[in-house]
Chains A and B, each alone.
Chain A
Amino acid sequence: MSDLSKNAQCVLRILASAGALTTTEILEIASTDEFADFCTDCAGGDAFVAAANQLVQMGLISKKFGKGGYRWQLVKD
């Protein structure tokens, strides 16, 4: 996990504590006090979503497009 970018680690932490989340929900959680120390690059969202897409490529999380947009979820072993 330490090889992952800070943004990617933040996405993983958020998804580990929740079920499927929309992109906006992830970014909103990232900007809460609980994640303030860890998730610092979420203001514009783009770098954060780019990191999430990398996690999908790595098979660590999944995303599914449907009503309202994408839902992101941790891939369980």
Chain B
Amino acid sequence: MATGEGLISMVNWTKIRNDFPALERTINGRPVVYLDSACMALKPRQVIDAMNEYYECYPACGGRSIHKFGEEASNAYSEARRKFRKFLNASDDSECIWTRNATESLNIVASAVKLPKGSKIITTSLEHHSGSLPFVERARRDGLKTEIVKALPDGTFDIEDWKKAVDRNTSMISVVHSSNVTGTVAPMKEIVEIAHDRGALVISDDAQYAPHHPLDVQDLDVDFSAISVHKMCGPTGMGVLYGKLEHLKSMNMCFYGGDTVSDVRFENGEILPEYLPPPEKFEAGLQNYAGAIGAGAAADYLQAIGMSEIEKHERSLLEVALKRLSDMEHVHILGTNDISIKTGLVTFNVDTVSSAHDVATFLNDEFNIMVRSGWHCVGPFHYQMGIDPKKGTVRASFYLYNNREDVSSFLSGIETLIEASK
């Protein structure tokens, strides 16, 4: 059926929009237009209900208490990991580690993966600070070399730059799969092939990719993937680290304590621990059961709609936004206009105001349109492009609950701002 978004789809996007209670709000008598999903996605009732059910019906410890509540919590917790494994198409539940966010996932790998002395870590100028800094600091800690692959001005990569940078001494590559600034999607499969050909591991920062595109870690053959659940309709404070089991097994541990051990003996005045394999090896202490259950519900929710459908829907909105913004005299878009290699976001500046923050403030104050302004935790690319990070850029990001009316309101808001400020 025709959806009104210009694409043929079986998905009823209006019904989906109604799943998100936050969109029912009005502020000063006007509806909200939420275009900041690249920072934080809104939550559907299905996710909220799943978490509430845990707190209301079986709010117990998983994996230890033998009573009924404990059994239900354990089952729901295990089931959530299984749902996430399916979402990523990982080969084993144990390859999915619960973390607090993609940043923590990246930090775990950066600090705990075993890398040869004197080897080289590669990252890029387009990385979120969370994708670069853990590896920059790892290199500093162990005296490793670093090399930065520069993104092109439109946010894409030249694959020849990767072929030049990745050599036999390269041990680790951290690369953003979909940029939170330009929205450009990296040629991950090609990068992984180059890396593996030369014996390097790859961690894909999927914080922006996983919520918006079909993600198949086996097909991509990435060694690790870092995901933030709060960007994919799930709860805050939840993330996932995917890792190939062989790598997770060989990595050092980061945190020690309860739930990480198979035995802790006391012999000859010494405490002697024996540790569990992944995932428990990386999940010390009492876990965020409600968060994991919410994460599983979010994975289920998105998969029921279909990640390809979500990708198409977002791109249909992005196409309209990009076309009209490109025609506006005072608007300067950062990144390529090729929607076939973009996640549903557009980043830009308006030259009639001195700061991107003025755009975000104006849209919020006048129209309840919520966008993001700043450097988006990607200082290096802003510096590379000669953009003062303090002035920043404006980012409007679309998700499955947005519609054409949202895009129209946003574009009208920008036109009004330009008229009022020139």
Contacts and interface: CB of A to CB of B under 8 A. Distances in A.
Contacts, number: 77
Nearest to A45: B390
A30 to B, nearest CB: 8
Interface range on chain B (Cβ under 8 Å from partner)? 20 to 34
B244 to A, nearest CB: 35
A9 interface: no
B355 A44 contact: no
B373 A49 contact: yes
Interface string A54-75: 0000000001011111100000
A14 to B, nearest CB: 13
Contacts of B422: 67
Nearest to A27: B390
B420 A24 contact: no
B389 interface: yes
A69 B372 CA distance: 17
A65 B375 contact: no
B28 to A, nearest CB: 13
A46 B374 CA distance: 5
Contact of A23 (B357, B372, B375, B389): B357
Contacts of A44: 374-377, 379, 389-390, 392
Contacts of A53: 361
A65 B354 contact: no
Contacts of B376: 44
Interface of B: 352-358, 360-362, 365, 372-377, 379, 389-392, 420-422
For the complex of A and B, 7 pairs with smallest distance between CB atoms: A69-B353, A46-B374, A69-B358, A23-B355, A49-B357, A44-B374, A24-B354
Interface of A: 22-25, 27-28, 31, 42-46, 49, 53, 63, 65-70
